[in-house]
Structure 1
Amino acid sequence: MSAQAKQKISLKAILLSLVVLVANIFMNGLIFWFFRDSTLNPLLTAILAVIWGVAGVYLIYYSLSWAAEQFPDYIRKYALPYVFIGPAVIILGWLLILPALRTLYLSFFNASSEEFVGLGNYAAIFSDHLLATALRNNLLWVFIGTFACVAFGLLIAILADRSSYEKIAKSIIFMPMAISFVAAGVIWKFVYYYQPGDQQIGLLNAIVVFFGGEPQAWVSMLQPWNNFFLIVILIWMQTGFAMVIFSAAIKGVPEDILEAARVDGANEVRIFFKIMIPFISMTILTVSTTIIVFTLKIFDVVMVMTGGQYDTEVVATQFYRQFFMYRNFGYGSTLAIVLLIAVLPVIIINLRQFRKQGGF
């Protein structure tokens, strides 16, 4: 008889595991209900919530790991990985999968979620003029925004790597990544700000007036070009992300291959297109798909800058307007599912490329 067969699962280990699991569910449930119904000072509640978040996660993993250690080795070997990924999977399921399923369910009902309409909402959104505008704008964000971010990120990565001020240049370009899309929208709202007359406080109009031009309402009157001015904000923010990833990939190109190409008489442009681009092609695809996901679900910038007015509506802002402002739960849920379907293929492609590069 093998050593594993001699190790038996004791009743004590099973009971301890059940007690630990039930105790974790019970205690964290009580704390959750306490915070939900609490009338404490908001600052004190926030501090206690942070403490609970840190200490609670530690105690959950420690107690579950301790319970797994009570079992024989051949069971512990299989149980421990699930102990560490189990809580994360449960939380993701609770916060992502269940809401997605509920949204899918609501998309088959009318505005008040009382009458089943089947695919009626899906048929309606593709005949809606506003959605056609939103889809057009989303495509502009996807193609122009992604192409510009990738192109500028790659160009800056190449130039910065050859500069003696590499760290300073990269820090400046990457700096917009440190702020949120909402903050970026507020900043650029002042850049594009327009008011009648010669006195302009918006940076762009102030420059135009200084050189003798006429101030323009960049994000309201210049339709549909106002969408391009909004896309500039995405480029300003995401170029730094693309630059950092491309810079790391370019540094991984073998120096001996580059030197051999130079010895053979290849100029820098030919080396860039014939050696560097093929070598980092998987990185380019990964960065592109990541930025495409950002552009498909873009919301913050448009909401802050225009609120979706002046033909700048995108699918996410239309969903927000239908679901939270007009209280049309069926139509709003349908828009959310359409957006999810659009994002899923890009995420799958990204994950496959990540797997090919050894990420999994």
Structure 2
Amino acid sequence: MNPALQGLITIIVGVGGCIGYFYFSNQFLDRVLFPPKGPNAGRNINRANAIRPWLFLFPAIAALGLYLAYPVVETMRLSLTDRVPGGYEWAGLDNYQQMFAEDKFWEAVTNNFLWLLIVPALSTAFGLLAAQLTDRISWGNIAKSLIFMPMAISFVGAAVIFKLVYDARPEDVAQIGVLNAIYLQLGGESPITWLTVPFWNNFFLMAVLVWIQTGFAMVILSAALRGIPEETVEAAIVDGANPFQIFFKIKIPQISGTIVVVWTTITIVVLKVFDIVFAMTNGQWETQVLANYMYDKLFRANDWGVGSASAMIIMLLVTPILVWNVYNARKEMR
């Protein structure tokens, strides 16, 4: 079947199915289960109104259970078993012990920690700076659109773009990599394969995610800055505060909650980062991260036990930050 036709049919069936479910379930509730007539009409209406929200929430709850809760439980089970001919056998914590004994795992943990220190901080800082500066210029909306544009690019697409930026050709060939072209123009002796330089290559990978996430941070923080009451800024100006004092002592304290939400949201993205590393280095040259380590174990080494154990580690790292993020988001909405 033609992919376009298949997509169209999927949309029609999916949307039509949802509309049909909500319509017919509502009719069944009101006309069959609790008809609003007879001596119990008032009680039936109350019962129907009590059940109706759960009836409408059921598709979402079922989808979450199927695509979120079940995979978590199954992954936990796989992390405690070993695959053997004909099925699985109980392994207890052996997979975790094997994982903790591998140098590649600790390399991934170290690199993820480095990403956590740098990417959220730089993305939030650049986003806040862009939000403040673009609000002060006449063509600020155009600037915001350009800064936000990388958010529309997939992680793999961004990785391919930056891989060309870091490209290295032989000395006697024209450089297509922007970084090497600049390096040679500044007096460099020979092109450098930037992605193979230990330790520093991690920063070249981080630059891709910072480039993408800065636009996200800018949009959220720009909205927060616009929500600051003008009276507080005007009062600070009357008191003789300069622009830097207004920004750091008046504006930032008032949007600190939003900054935390942006920071933690980017932190969750960093903990799950996979596409960029996979497309640019595949974890080679000491650039391994947890998600790529998990992929290697699951689909290359075919070691489902250790791969599932590493997935559980990622989930354990993400969960507290996710809970904290939801808590702060709800607090902001009050």
| Counterparts of 1:69 and 1:185, CA distance in 2 | 54
| Counterpart Cα distance in 1 of 2:145 and 2:56 | 36
> Counterpart in 1 of 2:96?
122
Q: Which one of 57, 82, 87 corresponds to residue 59 of structure 2?
A: 87
Query: Hey, what's the Cα distance between the residues in 2 that align with 1:256 and 1:282?
Result: 20
Alpha-carbon distance between aligned partners in 1 of 2:286 and 2:170, rounded to the nearest angstrom: 22
Q: Distance in 1 between matches of 2:328 and 2:247?
A: 22
Other-structure match for 1:59 = 20
Higher mean C-alpha deviation, range 318-327 or range 107-116: 107-116
In structure 2, the partner of 1:110 is 82
Deviations 1:47-100 (A, max 9, x none): 322221221222122222222333221012112211221101101110111011
**Aligned-partner residue type, residue 116 of structure 1:** W
More divergent stretch after superposition (191-200 vs 349-358): 191-200
Partner of 1:5: none
Unaligned runs of 5+ in 2: 35-43
**Letter aligned with residue 141 of structure 1:** W
Aligned Cα RMSD in Å? 1.4
Distance apart, 1:114 and its partner CA: 2.1
1:153 alignment partner, one of 93, 116, 127: 127
* Letter matched to residue 81 of structure 1: P
Give the secondary structure class of the aligned counterpart of 2:89.
coil
2:295 maps to 1:323: no
Q: Which residue of 1 aligns with 2:208?
A: 233
AA at the equivalent of 1:310: W
Question: In structure 2, how many angstroms separate the alpha carbons of the residues matched to 1:111 and 1:164?
Answer: 63
**Number of the residue aligned with 1:45:** 6
User: 1:153-302 counterparts in 2 under 5 A?
Assistant: 153-198=127-172, 199-213=174-188, 214-220=190-196, 222-302=197-277
* Deviation by residue 1:195-228 (Cα, 9 ceiling, x = unmatched): 22242122221222233323211111x1110000
Partner of 2:30: 69
- 2:321: which partner in 1? 346
1:326-346 CA-partner distances (Å, limit 9, x unpaired):
110100000000000000000
The amino acid that maps onto 1:219 is L
Counterpart of 1:60, as a letter, is Y
Alpha-carbon distance between aligned partners in 2 of 1:139 and 1:111, rounded to the nearest angstrom: 31
**Higher mean C-alpha deviation, range 121-130 or range 230-239:** 121-130
Note if contact 2:258-2:332 (Cα within 8 Å) is conserved in structure 1. no
Percent identity at matched positions?
A: 45
The Cα of 1:111 is off from its aligned counterpart by 4.6
Deviates more, 1:99-108 or 1:186-195: 186-195
- The amino acid of 1:258's aligned partner reads V
Output one character per residue of 1:5-31: Cα deviation in whole Å (capped at 9) or x when no partner.
xxxxxxxxxxxxxxxxxxxxxxxxxxx
Compare 199-208 and 306-315 and name the one that shifted more.
199-208
CA distance in 1, matches of 2:312, 2:328: 25
Shift of 1:120: 1.4
Contact 1:107/1:330, CA 8 A, preserved across alignment: yes
Whole-angstrom distance in 1 between the partners of 2:14 and 2:194? 45
Secondary structure of 1:311's counterpart equals: coil
Cα distance in 2, alignment partners of residues 316 and 324 from structure 1:
12
Query: What letter matches 1:106 in structure 2?
Result: L
Deviation (angstroms), 1:107: 0.3
SS at match of 2:283: coil
Structure 1 pair 310/111, CA: closer, same or farther in 2 (3 Å)? farther
Deviation at 1:110, TM superposition (A): 2.0
- Tell me, yes or no, if structure 1 residue 99 matches structure 2 residue 71: yes
Whole-Å separation in 2 of the counterparts to 1:80 and 1:96: 24
CA distance in 1, matches of 2:101, 2:252: 42
Q: Give the paired residue count.
A: 319
* Deviation larger for 194-203 or 170-179: 194-203
CA distance in 1, matches of 2:19, 2:125: 43
Structure 1 gaps, min length 5: 1-39
Q: Distance in 1 between matches of 2:256 and 2:105?
A: 34
> TM-score, normalised to structure 1's length?
0.85
TM-score, normalised by the number of residues in structure 2: 0.92
Is the CA contact 2:264–2:325 (under 8 Å) kept in the aligned structure 1?
yes
Deviations 1:124-177 (A, max 9, x none): 222210011000110111110000001100111111111111101100000000
Aligned with 1:298: secondary structure?
Answer: coil
